[in-house]
């Protein structure tokens, strides 16, 4: 059996006939108002037909309308959770970055923490005396630069052809 809206649409389109038309007209509470509404609907339809622009790609337009109607008729689906779609979700990115920062902070603390420097490194050697043998190199000079806070000693030798083995350090 048709609903009232279906009968109303069929009546406006002049598709109701016979007994069905009589029953519908008898069910209307105010027939004069209904007739006026029917006339205004027909006028609106004719106006829209006059103003309609021919579409260049009517099949595409019809396809879009059908797709939209199908989406509207489909049962309401819950939208996928943005946080749960894909491999790199927002939650995983947050946990990954927090973990990375924690590991970085731990490594920085362990590696770069302030240690009291030992009094003397095992690799530091101190040159106490130096001399130049004038018979080997008469024009040789030796200059020594020492910086205790950086534990650096530089021995600058000019004009010496070779350093004897007894001057070698470990």
Mean predicted lDDT score pLDDT of the chain: 76
Q: Is pLDDT at 83 greater than 60 in this prediction?
A: no
Q: What percent of the chain has pLDDT over 70?
A: 63
Residue 35 lies in a domain: yes
Residue 152 lies in a domain: yes
Which has the higher per-residue pLDDT, 25 or 155? Answer: 25
pTM above 0.75, yes or no: no
Which has the higher per-residue pLDDT, 97 or 133? Answer: 97
End-to-end Cα spacing for the chain: 109
Q: Which residues contact 146 (CB under 8 A, 6 or more apart)?
A: 152, 153, 154
Residue 139 lies in a domain: yes
* Residue where the block lists tokens 């990375």: 100
Q: What total number of domains does the chain contain? A: 2
Q: Is pLDDT at 13 greater than 70 in this prediction?
A: yes
Range of the domain at 125: 119-162
Q: Which residues contact 139 (CB under 8 A, 6 or more apart)?
A: 159
**Which of 71-75, 96-100, 111-115 is most confident?**
96-100
> What confidence score (pLDDT) does residue 47 get?
87
> What confidence score (pLDDT) does residue 170 get?
45
Residue 33 lies in a domain: yes
Residue 114 lies in a domain: no
* Residue where the block lists tokens 């005396």: 129
């Amino acid at each position: 059996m048709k609903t009232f809206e279906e009968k109303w649409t069929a009546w406006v389109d002049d598709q109701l006939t016979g007994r069905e038309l009589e029953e519908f007209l008898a069910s209307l509470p105010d027939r004069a108002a209904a007739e006026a509404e029917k006339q205004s609907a027909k006028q609106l339809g004719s106006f829209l037909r006059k103003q309609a622009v021919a579409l260049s790609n009517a099949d595409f337009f019809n396809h879009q309308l059908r797709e939209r109607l199908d989406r509207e008729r489909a049962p309401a689906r819950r939208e996928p959770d943005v946080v749960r779609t894909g491999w790199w979700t927002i939650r995983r990115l947050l946990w990954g970055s927090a973990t990375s920062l924690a590991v970085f902070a731990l490594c920085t603390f362990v590696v770069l923490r302030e240690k009291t420097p030992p009094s003397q490194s095992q690799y530091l050697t101190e040159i106490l005396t130096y001399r130049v043998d004038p018979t080997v190199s008469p024009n040789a000079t030796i200059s020594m630069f020492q910086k205790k806070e950086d534990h650096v000693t530089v021995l600058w030798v000019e004009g010496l052809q070779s350093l004897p083995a007894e001057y070698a350090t470990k």
